[in-house]
Amino acid sequence: MSTVSSTDPVLRLLLVDEQRSFHIMMKAMLLNVGINRISYAYSAEEARRLCQKESFDIYLIDYDLGAGENGRQLLESLRERRLIPPRAVVMIVSGDASRAMVLSAIEAEPDEYLMKPFSQEQFKQRLKRAVTRRRALQPLFEALSRQDDTALLAACERAAQEYPRYSNFCRCLQADTLMRRGEPQEARRLLRQLLAAQDNSWARLALGKACHLLGLHEEAVSHLHACLRLTPLMVDAYRALAESYLSQGKTEEAQAQLKQAVSLSPQSVLLSRQLAEVSLQRGDYACAKDVLLNLIDMTRNSIHRTPHYLGAYIQTLTLYALNSNDSYHIANLQKQVNSALSRLRDGLISADFNYPAFEQLCQARVQIACGELLKGKKMLYRANQNWLDKPESMPPALLGETVLGLYQLGEFEYAESLQALLSEDEDHLLTTCISATRTDKTVQERRQRYQQLNELGIKAYQAGELEQALGHFREALRRTPANTGSALNKIQVLLQLLAKERKNSEYLDECRTTLSLLEGIPLNPAQQERFRKLCQEFAQYQ
């Protein structure tokens, strides 16, 4: 091949582009540079099928592939499925020269990025550069693919010595590996040596990360700002800055850094996700809902697709509406949720995900937010009826949605018992959303008053002051009309009062009405058993 040497093996290339005219043009260009084993694909799905059958030495992928997955999403999918061998060169091409597009393509870490139109000479030189680098560093990339950190560190050391032109890349990768192995102090020492010889934005970024891991947050911030002075468009530095600010409790500064990063690279799933999490932590629901809606659209066709984005979006809409004191936002909630559900429905329907139950949980939360508490409660419990006996077997996505719905509903004790079942490594966005809901001002105020009234009611009941207990439970239920515990407590007090005054029609009617609030709802086993016994006791007064 004339791009490297006459002794090169025959290289196989996969060209992915939706336009036939580009295929024809590239075929002529590739033949001129000595590549004649060419496979063509017009879509991401067609490319994936080809990659499942054989591997290639060069992947030439257009960013814009029309409807469905784009080139970046295809590349992420192929890497996720380990369909690209470590020896292969990846080149992304695009006709969009916008900053957002360029940064998005670069974030996918191809070996080369080319803007259309490009000449044969440009292509030849870029390909030669990429192939030469990939071959020189092949042991490094193979160790990286195997996730063999010991071999990777050794390969980085050898390559840095043997190929000085790639030394900075090797040393930074070496430092990243040391940090991943829990050796940030050693990484910091290595990077300071590198920077003593020559300032470098990648080394500054890595040093900032190492200092952050060591708890040296002021030093981390200093290095990261220096990195951005060298390379203002390095979005990863903004993300690292945000993490350092968060560690210092400076959430406003962290959010500002992430907003800047997302404005530079709006197609970055990682940056948008972190911005949504920080916005939720700060109670900035307006920002969080906009970012989450963008995430839903951005990940529809990617490996990053998850029901947590939709669940978090619905909860953020709800919190935004509840805190806005504007009836318009509550009234518009159903329309917004239906729109979001329709966008993701096809992507979420699969054999290993119970989409109908998920959708029912989402709709239940909308009903609760709109004030239809009993309707929403029935929908919520019915969506979970298959797991009420064994909630620990509930799929995590459904469990998280249920916890959020229960907090909305005012079923605080039940929500906490289910929340305890979420594993520590569960999706961080989900746990952030739950935490934001628990600490939301309107939810906290309602919960604190409910708990005070419920505790007063229990104390009065235990002291035999039934009328006083009834008053407290009535008020607790007025504050949280769908709380099962308050309803059961109130029924129990009414039955005690009926035992003393069997002919009191007011107590009889109130007891019947309160019991009806729980009829037809598949309660959890403990609640269901208590409800059954209270119904039996009430039957004698009929």
What does the DSSP assignment read for 12-49? EEEEE-S-HHHHHHHHHHHHHTT--EEEEESSHHHHHH
Phi, psi of 267 (to 5 degrees): -95, 5
Strands (E), 318-370: none
What pLDDT shows up at residue 437?
Answer: 87
What pLDDT shows up at residue 2?
Answer: 44
Q: HEC states along 136-190?
A: HCHHHHHHHHHCCHHHHHHHHHHHHHHCHHHHHHHHHHHHHHHHHCCCHHHHHHH
Average pLDDT on 510-534 reads 90
The pTM assigned to this predicted structure is 0.85
Tens of pLDDT along 357-394? Answer: 888 998 998 898 888 888 999 999 899 888 888 888 88
Residues 6 or more apart from 409 whose CB is under 8 A from it?
368, 373, 376, 377, 380, 480, 482, 483
Residue (of 401, 399, 397) closest to 363 by Cα position: 401
Burial of 540 (0-12, 13-18, 19+ CB in 10 A): exposed
Tens of pLDDT along 304-321? Answer: 888 888 888 988 988 888
Query: Distance between CA 15 and CA 90 in Å, rounded?
Result: 11
Average pLDDT on 102-127 reads 91
Confidence of residue 154 (pLDDT cuts 50, 70, 90): very high
Pair of tokens at residue 75: 């590349």
What is the gyration radius of the CA atoms in the chain, in angstroms? 30
Tens of pLDDT along 215-272? Answer: 999 999 999 999 999 999 999 999 999 999 999 999 999 999 999 999 999 989 999 9
What pLDDT shows up at residue 132?
Answer: 95
Pair of tokens at residue 392: 């620990």
Angle subtended at Cα 166 by Cα 116 and Cα 2, rounded to the nearest 5 degrees: 50
% of the chain residues with pLDDT over 90: 63
Residue (of 77, 73, 87, 88) closest to 52 by Cα position: 77
Phi, psi of 247 (to 5 degrees): -65, -20
Superfamily of domain 146-264: Tetratricopeptide repeat domain (1.25.40.10)
Q: Span 448-539: which CATH code?
A: 1.25.40.10
What pLDDT shows up at residue 351?
Answer: 54
Burial of 172 (0-12, 13-18, 19+ CB in 10 A): buried
Residue 196 pLDDT exceeds 70: yes
Residue 72 pLDDT exceeds 80: yes
Query: Which one-letter amino acid corresponds to residue 215?
Result: G
CA distances 9 to 36, 142, 163, 214, Å, are 12, 19, 23, 47
Residue 350 pLDDT exceeds 80: no
Query: Distance between CA 440 and CA 443 in Å, rounded?
Result: 5
Average pLDDT on 477-483 reads 89
Pair of tokens at residue 245: 């600010």
Residue 7 pLDDT exceeds 80: no
* 110 cis-preceded (ω within 30 degrees of 0): no
CA distances 513 to 343, 458, 508, 518, Å, are 41, 21, 9, 9
Burial 518-531 (b: 16+ CB within 10 A, else e): beebebbeebbebb
Angle subtended at Cα 62 by Cα 293 and Cα 100, rounded to the nearest 5 degrees: 45
Residue 1 pLDDT exceeds 70: no
Cβ(434)–Cβ(407) below 8 Å: yes
Residue 426 pLDDT exceeds 70: no
Query: Which one-letter amino acid corresponds to residue 55?
Result: S
Superfamily of domain 12-136: Response regulator (3.40.50.2300)
Residue 91 forms beta bridges with which residues?
60, 112
Report the half-sphere exposure of 139 (CA within 13 A, side-chain side).
15
% of the chain residues with pLDDT over 70: 97
Residues 6 or more apart from 273 whose CB is under 8 A from it?
295, 429
Count of all residues that appear for the chain in the document: 542
Average pLDDT on 167-193 reads 96
Q: HEC states along 446-473?
A: HHHHHHHHHHHHHHHHHCCCHHHHHHHH
